[in-house]
Amino acid sequence: MRSLSTTIVLALCALTLLPHRTTAQDKPTASAAPAVTGARGEFLAEVAFYEQRYTQLAAAIPAEKYSWRPAEGVRSIGEVYAHIAAANYGVARALGTPPPAGIDPKAINTLAGDKAKVLEALKDSFTHFRGAILAIKDADLNNAQKLFGQDTTVRGTFFMITGHFGEHLGQSIAYARQNAIVPPWTEERQKQEAAKPKP
């Protein structure tokens, strides 16, 4: 019989991978949502959604919890966020936009225990990643591309990256819940529901 925590983790991961509906609090800021249409515009909206979720949750986790991990040999809370930041630079490079001078994506993982540095790296990496998507031309979306060891197209990488974001967001939510931390967007929704007049 599965333990309760395993069931919760699996349920959270499944919910994270379901298609989501953008709500008012999920809407990206003007700087995060350039006026781009088509596949790139749709993907940028997804990136903005995940950026907001990651940065809100990473900010809500107390600094002393960044070293928490559910088991030996598994990424800690801070390591998950550092991994996303490093991956943003790595994927951008694969799509033709190298990291800025002085940024070593592999070195980002060494920041995992420092909440302030991880948050800064996470935000900077999403800014860079958006720039990489904007640099892609619509005419190049069907070009062959290799990502995560798989042959695909540039457009196909958008699906793969969204899956990667969803996987680790589910992991991050499960980590937060195991540490009695309610995701900020859930807490906000609960407050709004509690404030509604009872019928």
Res 65 pLDDT > 60: yes
Give the residue-averaged pLDDT of 99-116: 94
Q: Where are the alpha helices (DSSP H) in 18-149?
A: 38-60, 77-94, 105-108, 115-135
Q: What is the pLDDT of residue 132?
A: 96
How is the chain split among helix, strand and coil, in percent rounded to 5? 65, 5, 30
Confidence of residue 188 (pLDDT cuts 50, 70, 90): confident
In the chain, the N- to C-terminal Cα span, in Å, equals: 40
For residue range 121-157, list pLDDT tens digits in order: 999 999 999 999 999 999 999 999 998 889 999 999 9
pLDDT value of residue 105: 92
Grade residue 190 by pLDDT with cuts at 50, 70 and 90: confident
108 pLDDT above the threshold of 70? yes
Question: What residues does each domain of the chain span?
Answer: 4-183
Q: Evaluate if residue 112 carries a pLDDT over 50.
A: yes
> Which DSSP symbol is given to 147?
E
Exposed, middle or buried: residue 88 (CB in 10 Å: 0-12, 13-18, 19+)? Answer: buried
Residue-averaged pLDDT of the chain: 86
Domain 4-183 fold: Four Helix Bundle (Hemerythrin (Met), subunit A) (1.20.120)
CA-CA-CA-CA torsion sign (88, 93, 96, 97): positive
Q: Structure pTM?
A: 0.81
**What mean pLDDT is predicted for residues 23-31?**
45
Percent of the chain clearing pLDDT 90 (strictly above): 72
Reported as a pLDDT band with limits 50, 70 and 90, residue 2 is: very low
Cβ atoms within 10 A of the Cβ of 65, count?
A: 16
Instruction: Give 35-50 pLDDT, tens digit per residue.
Output: 788 999 999 999 999 9
